[in-house]
Structure 1
Amino acid sequence: MSLTQKGFSSFVYSFSSSIINKIIVFVGGVYLARLLTPQDYGLVAMLYIIFAVSSFFITGGLGLALIREKIITEADKSTVFYFNIIVSISLYILLWFGAPLIASFYGRQELIMLTRLMGLDLLFKSLTIVQASVLKRELKFKFLSLIEVVSGITVIGISVFLAYSGYGVIALAIKFFLGSLVSSIMLFIVNPWIPRGFITKESFHKLFAFGSNVMLLGFVNSISKNLNQVVIGKYFSPASLGFFNQGNMLKDTATSVLNDTVMNVTFPMLAQIQDDKERLKLGYQRIIRINTFTLYPIITILIIAAEPLIIGLLGEKWRVSIVFLQILGISGYVGHLHSINLNVLKVYGKGKDYLFQGFFRNGLTILGILITVNISVVAMAWAFVITEFLQLFINVYYSNKYISFTFKEQWTIMFPIILITIIMGMFVYLLGYLDFSHPLVKLTVLSFSGIILYLVLAYLFKLKALGDLKLIIGQKLKSLKKKKK
């Protein structure tokens, strides 16, 4: 099987599992939100920055370096395994004894128990970074997809049971680490591996040369991305943070399925053709077309139909989240472009540039928070969106250095898609003025009408992105027919 066929096959498996998993998590999350309160979600969200930062030290450094290496040895794998184990145990001990300080900072004693409970996620994640990295490196996303679906079903089932049984915020804390536990168990079953040796100086230096910069940037990115939640949790109420976080989670749920799948699948695939710049650039052009074509109608409908979505699914108590979903949803229009342009630096192992652009981008985010913290939570949401758009110019500048992929070229690829998205959005917005018997009926009508019109416009305008999707689906169907024969 060619690299392209492997990539398409991996994409189908990964995307399908992500869709199934997101549906499971979304449905379960809706039920959880009805059982729990905005304050419960706010308490857990206060800790997100701590675990986002800690988790990236484990998952985002040497693991990525292992994926991008052309040849890896048992010494490399053993080095990554033991390094992650040592780091995770050290971080958990630090969190265990630092939990009272965290609780004191926010003035919420419940956070002591939540910190120690949610910290188990670090220990479970560290156990199988090597197995997961090897499967991604070999484009064996069928196994990873199966693990993701089983893990999602298990986690949401147990969390809903605990919430229904009256455990409150504890249900969210257990949900936080349970996925890593289930995934680790299944990874050992699917891809059993035991380290043969310990950390070696040669392997560590080789992997750390790239991984250290990615790790450090992950640290900075995690802080800036979650700093809003720290500030809201500190200076506003837990309920305010719960509303903000719920809107952000709904946005991420809608936009991350395709984007995360494409980035996970294409990074190891494109890393294998990093020496062919022309072929690499063509690959990124196709990724932008497909991602933009698929994401833009979803984001647009999400913003316009935010009220029936939240009121119909979560209930009246979550009404305040509507404005946050609409504002933060706007950032979804550029989120995939950040990932695609940063992927270029990962493929080429340009750790220092990856780090420098991160400092510039995150500086903008922190500046936005400092300007708006004394205004309102809504103002902070707008600052996040504005800085997301400004940061895009920084990312494009760095990616253009290596594959000559300018902002103008990227804009040219997206323009026809933006045009039909605007037409579709205007239609859906006007349709929303009609009277509907129930919020969910309105959500259904707006969503299906918008998607149908969008696809018709894409066909009439003969968009190249639609042709790309047809090609991918066609090649996958041919591959399945050959297997049957």
Structure 2
Amino acid sequence: MVELTSVPEIDLATVKGRAIKGIAALTGRTFLLQIISFFGFFLLTVFLGTAEVGLFFAISELVAILGYFSDVGLAAALIQKKEKPSVKDIRSTFTIQQILVLTLLIIVFCLSPWLRRFYHIDQSGFFLLVSLLIGFFLASLKTVPSVLLERKLKFDLLVVVEIIESFLFYGLAVFLAWQGWGIASYAWAVLARGVVGVILIYYFSPWRIGFALERESLRHLLKFGVPYQANTFLAVIKDRLMNVFLWKIVGASGVGILGWAQKWAQMPLRFVMDAVMKVTFPAYARMQADKEELKKAVEKTLFFLSLIIFPLLVGITVLAQPLVHLIPKYSKWEVALLALYLFIVNSFWAAVTTPLMNALTAVGKIKIVFKLMVMWTVLTWIIYPILAIKYGFNGVALGAALVSFSSAIAIWLTKKYIDFKFFAPLLKPTLGCLAMGFGLLFLRNFLPLNIFSLILLIFIGGLFYGGLVFLMVGKSLTVDVKKLFYAFKNH
């Protein structure tokens, strides 16, 4: 068993090296994770109907809301803390979290009869709710081991756990859905994932479980944790609570359509950005004193995110319609195409705004991020319901696109605190994507609608974009790749 006090702190040079290695390792392994998620979700949306998919999305959002009340930001505070956290810090965090988790579970079980009546949840839906609540409790047990790994930037081990969890979840869910288990497919998969995940994380990052309520430790942690959690709580109100609210307006089928569209629109973000954000948060935090290094890091982040995410979003936009018509049993999702295109607009903005919010949070500018979250939350709750009532699920997607343009304010505010260049890192990837997109649209009109044509379009698009990027930034890209391999070799 590893003692908590043996966790070493690391210097800036090591942070930079491990961050580069961490991003590459996380991106590579997360790519595998997202491949599993991609095919798993795709197969589930083949075997299940829009209402069944919508019920899972809606209940998952309901339970996910609880997660944001379960640690009051203490886990993030442990990661952000400059000094090495003490045993009392960690055990106090664990104790508070478990008290909150158990309290929330009791509240939800007491409210469950009302929830079933209000949302017309049947017995299978209630079983899904119970399984997700059990999964919520199991996930809370993983917080401390995960924090210990993140502070050491050992993200590769975290991703191993996530890959196994994801493979188990989607593998079991798809098999059961194929066998006709319906919504219960999700429920059993959630339970299996939760149990296996806890076992694995404690194997990779064991710690002596203990309870403590150290007043001084909690005071220091809550100083960062509460504002941080206030921001995430606003994100819950803006996104997850809104989705639960919309469940009543557009119904389970409408939630399923929105979930499908949003899932595919955000897939490029999940492929790359989640890994980058997870690594850059502690890395940025340790670069707080070096403004020039922080500036360069932010610009590099924007460049690489746009380099990878932008062409994927353009590709989805061009190829979504023919794919829906070609795939057997997938025509039921044709109604979601307009929503998909509108959510893609939102994803373009998210690709460049999210890393900036991450940087501001990492360097302690929590109040700025909080004010931005207030703005986005207010806009969301004003625009979404009005458009949902008037235009249904497409109105919700339109609202998401409109709200995303307010990200320009976030960019302007970030530049006041971090003197980075915004347009320069994005220019060449954007030009390459536009050229690729128009080229694919032109070619699509001359090719027959079949799988071979789609494969050809994907191949030509990738080759064309890759060639353009190499011509525009080939030299600097080669230098960065060499740095990446050097980081792997020496860290």
User: TM-score with structure 1 length normalisation?
Assistant: 0.92
Q: Which amino acid in the other structure matches residue 92 of structure 2?
A: T
Alpha-carbon deviation of 1:479?
5.3
What is the CA-CA distance between 1:200 and the residue it aligns to?
Answer: 1.0
**Structure 2 counterpart of 1:119:** 133
**Which of residues 108, 117, 125 in structure 2 aligns to 1:104?**
117
Over residues 98-128 of structure 1, what are the superposed CA-to-partner deviations in whole Å (9 max), with x where a residue is unaligned? 1222222223334433322211222011102
Taking the aligned partners of 1:199 and 1:474, their CA distance within structure 2 comes to 48
The unaligned stretches of length 5 or more in structure 2 are 1-12
2:6 is matched with: none
| 1:444 and 2:448 correspond | no
- How far apart, in 1, do the equivalents of 2:48 and 2:396 lie? 25
- Asked whether the equivalents of residues 49 and 223 of structure 1 are also in contact (C-alpha less than 8 Å), the reply is no
Shift of 1:60: 7.4
Equivalent in the alignment of 1:336? 351
Q: Do residues 239 (structure 1) and 259 (structure 2) align?
A: no
Return the letter of the residue paired with 1:368.
Answer: I
CA 1:359–1:112: 2 relative to 1, 3 Å: same
Pick one of 88, 92, 104 that aligns with 1:75: 88
Structure 1 segments (4+ residues) deviating >6 Å: none
The answer to whether the 8 Å contact 2:284/2:363 transfers is: no
Q: Which residue of 2 aligns with 1:474?
A: 482
Q: For residue 417 of structure 1, what is the aligned residue in structure 2? A: 429
SS in 2 for 1:46: helix
Whichever residue aligns with residue 421 of structure 1, its letter is: C
Pair 383,422 (structure 1): closer, same or farther in 2 beyond 3 Å:
same
* Deviation of the 1:259 alpha carbon: 0.7
Corresponding position of 1:289? 303
1:362 CA drift (Å): 1.0
1:77-156 equivalences under 5 Å are 77-110=90-123, 111-156=125-170
Q: Which amino acid aligns with 1:473?
A: V
Partner of 2:44: 32
Counterpart of 2:443 in structure 1 is: 431
SS of 2:448's equivalent?
Answer: coil
Does structure 2 retain, via aligned residues, the 8 Å contact 1:56–1:218?
yes
Residue type matched to 2:154 in 1? Answer: K
Aligned to 2:173, what secondary structure does the other structure show? helix
SS in 2 for 1:57: coil
Q: Does the Cα contact within 8 Å between 1:361 and 1:394 map onto a contact in 2?
A: no
Q: Which moved more, 1:119-128 or 1:350-359?
A: 350-359
Contact 2:94–2:211 under 8 Å retained in 1: no
Following superposition, the deviation at residue 273 of structure 1 comes to 1.4
Quote the Cα distance in structure 1 between the aligned partners of 2:245 and 2:353: 24
Q: Could you list the per-position Cα deviations for residues 378-401 of structure 1 after superposition, in whole angstroms to 9, with x for gaps in the alignment?
A: 1221111110121x1332244233
The 1:27–1:442 alpha-carbon spacing in structure 2 relative to 1, beyond 3 Å, is same
Query: 1:430 and 1:117, CA in 2 relative to 1: closer, same or farther beyond 3 A?
Result: same
The amino acid of 1:264's aligned partner reads K
Residue 231 (structure 1) shift: 4.2
Q: Which residue of 1 aligns with 2:384?
A: 369
Corresponding residue number in structure 2 for 1:353: 368
2:29 paired with 1:17:
yes
Instruction: Flag the 1:247–1:60 CA change in 2: closer, same or farther, 3 A.
Output: farther
For 2:404, the equivalent position in structure 1 comes to 388
The equivalent residue for 1:264 is 278
Conservation of the 8 A alpha-carbon contact between 1:159 and 1:174: yes
Paired residues of 1:254 and 1:299 also in contact (CA < 8 A): yes
Question: Hey, what does 1:55 align to over in structure 2?
Answer: 67
Letter of the structure 1 residue corresponding to residue 402 of structure 2: I
1:255-311 alpha-carbon deviations (Å, 9 max, x no partner): 222111110011111211111112111110110011111111000011111113334
Shift of 1:13: 1.3
Residue identity in the other structure for 2:430: I
Residue 390 of structure 2 aligns to a residue whose secondary structure is coil
Partner of 2:4: none
Amino acid at match of 2:17: Q
Partner Cα distance (2:478, 2:108) in 1: 49
Deviations 1:424-469 (A, max 9, x none): 110011111123352x334322222112111111122x23xx5554
Q: Does 1:179 align with 2:193?
A: yes
Pairing of 1:153-232 with structure 2 (within 5 A): 153-176=167-190, 178-232=192-246
Residues 369, 482 of structure 1: CA spacing in aligned structure 2 closer, same or farther, 3 A cutoff?
Answer: closer
**CA distance, structure 2, for counterparts of residue 56 and residue 336 of structure 1:** 23
Q: Give the AA of the match of 2:120.
A: G
The 1-side partners of 2:297 and 2:79 are apart by 19
Greater shift after overlay, 36-45 or 56-65? 56-65
Deviations, residues 13-58 of structure 1 (Å, cap 9, x unaligned): 1111111111112112222222211110111222243223211233
Q: Is the 8 A contact 1:344 1:402 kept in 2?
A: no
Distance 1:324 1:82 in 2: 43
Going from structure 1 to structure 2, the CA distance change for 1:113 and 1:480 (only over 3 Å counts) comes to: closer
1:43 is matched with which residue? 55
State percent identity of aligned pairs: 23
Map of 1:268-279 to 2, 5 A cutoff? 268-279=282-293
Conserved? CA contact 1:25–1:156, under 8 Å: yes
CA contact (8 A) 1:59 1:129 kept: no
Q: Which of 314, 327, 347 is the matching residue for 1:300? A: 314
Provide the rounded CA distance (Å) in 2 between the counterparts of 1:315 and 1:372: 27
Note the aligned Cα RMSD (angstroms). 2.1
